[in-house]
Amino acid sequence: METPPLASEDVPFRPAPTVRTRRARRSRWWILFWVVLLLGGWFWLSSARRLQVPVKVVGYGVDSPAFVDTIGPLLGANFTGGNTIETLVNGDRFFPAMLKAIREAKHTITLETYIWAPGRISDEFIAALCERAGAGVKVHVLIDGMGTLKFRGADRARLTAAGVQILTYGREHWYQIKPNLSHRTHRKLLIIDGRIGFAGGMCIDDRWQGNADSPDCWRETQVRVEGPVVLQMQAVFAANWLQTTSSLLLGPEYFPKPERKGDSRAQCIKSGPGEGAEDIRMAYLCAIAAARKSIEIGNAYFVPDDLAIETLIQARNRGVRVRVVVPAINDSRFGRSVSRSRWGGLLAAGVEFYEYLPAMYHAKTMVVDDVLVTVGSANFDNRSFSINDEDALNILDPAVAKEHLKIFEDDVRHSRPITLEAFSARPWYIRLTDHVCGVFRSQF
């Protein structure tokens, strides 16, 4: 028996796509194709790629004269002796020390920072800087446009009215636009009278308060420096000041006669698209390639490129113990996935990973062979190594390294280990997310 046809109201009406509709769909796909292609090209062009061949260090380690005599000239900042280094962990220690140094400034204050957000710490910095400017101290402040989106106009007006010269990096005037909007100054430097310097990863934000004892606090490492290397730190600031204002900072108020203050050898290096491109990346890779015993890395955003992964695996093959502390609490889920996408081969090679639990882990340090310490603003990722302006202090001193190793061991005790088995067993949707996010690793 023949089945009667369905009534017309029972069949949804779907008009056949018109030629115009088909063309619109094809146009959308072509637009998507070109967007992806252009983004891919941009990511490739902005990736760290100056150094592409593995670094070969044969016959000497990081504490040998050959390493010191090579790295200094290569990176444009020789190691200089006669420095004293004080390590300051978390805001309870470094904020009081920095504010004290500002309040005691006699001639000049130069400050460069990435994030500056309103709050108690901001108010204290503003009050101290305004007071010194009112007392005749020359105060120069560089901030980043992206990092200071929350910075209040009223606070900036207070600083300017007090005589503080505060500028947005790359834009002396509000109407100026930087050609590369992705390029930021991520440097965090404070130099007092050319004699006392502070470097590390902290910003002027209440999140850095406390002692990393809650998820709302950030775990951070700073160093306070006295000695000849402070002049190199001042030169790093002066370079970005020149780029912004087309004017130089000159004279003994900024660059006094160097005085020996201790026994540590140190160098301050900079990197950025317009100066010392990839110098900090090269410093990290050379130190890792020269390691003979141990490498301890603590970093908020650990996204090694292929060459860094190869260099770390070669260190493991030489019998070097490699440990990495990363955040368990992360301010960027996307960044966390990007980082995880790079762990597999390192875990398989025996690199030990630990996730810091008590607070957001924001330190940017490395200790090699119990003698070389690196601390500064740079993350172990492509953005810091190739896109942003960064600074790093390399210190050669077993006593300083011993202190940093104690700090690192304490971080490990407050972390959970990540094994290869646990990493491989993570759910498929997390593995997929990590893989997809990892495609964009050149921007992290």
Q: Is 330 helix (H, G, I), strand (E, B) or coil?
A: coil
Separation between Cα atoms, residue 204 and residue 181, nearest integer Å: 22
Q: What's the pLDDT score for residue 6?
A: 47
Structure letter (DSSP) for residue 365: E
In the 3-class helix/strand/coil scheme, how is 226-274 assigned residue by residue? ECCHHHHHHHHHHHHHHHHHCCCCCCCCCCCCCCCCCCEEEEEEEEECC
CB 341 within 8 A of CB 441: yes
Rounded to the nearest 10 degrees, the angle between the axes of helix 279-290 and helix 65-75 is 170
Write down the pLDDT at residue 13.
Answer: 53
Q: What pLDDT was estimated at residue 173?
A: 61
> 36-39 contacts: CB < 8 A, separation 24 or more?
none
The neighbouring-strand residues paired with 275 are: 272
Distances (CA, A) of 435 to 254, 334, 441: 48, 11, 10
Neighbours of 235 (CB within 10 A): 18
In residues, how long is the chain?
444
CA pair distance 228, 80, nearest whole angstrom: 7
**pTM attached to this predicted model:** 0.87
Locate 429 and state its tokens.
């949707």
pLDDT tens digits, 345-395: 999 999 999 999 999 999 999 999 999 999 999 999 988 998 999 999 999
For residue 217, the model assigns a pLDDT of 92
Fold of 65-443: Endonuclease; Chain A (3.30.870)
Q: Report the pLDDT value the prediction gives residue 295, as an integer from 0 to 100.
A: 98
- In 125-229, where do the E strands start and end? 138-143, 165-168, 189-192, 196-200, 218-219, 221-226
Residue 186: phi and psi, rounded to 5, are -105, 10
pLDDT at 7: 47
Judge whether 369 and 292 are in contact, CB under 8 Å: yes
Phi-psi region of 12 (alpha: psi -120 to 50; beta: other; left: phi over 0): beta
Find out whether 444 and 303 touch, Cβ atoms under 8 Å.
yes
Q: Check: CB of residue 396 under 8 Å from CB of residue 68.
A: yes
> For the chain, which ranges sit under pLDDT 50?
1, 6-9, 11
Can you tell me the distance from the alpha carbon of 320 to that of 128, in angstroms, rounded to the nearest whole number? 46
So what's the pLDDT on residue 430?
81
CA atoms within 13 A on the CB side of 97: 21
In the Cβ-directed half-sphere of 85, how many Cα atoms lie within 13 Å? 32
Which of 393, 332, 336 is CA-nearest to residue 367? 393
Distance between CA atoms of 34 and 41, rounded to whole angstroms? 10
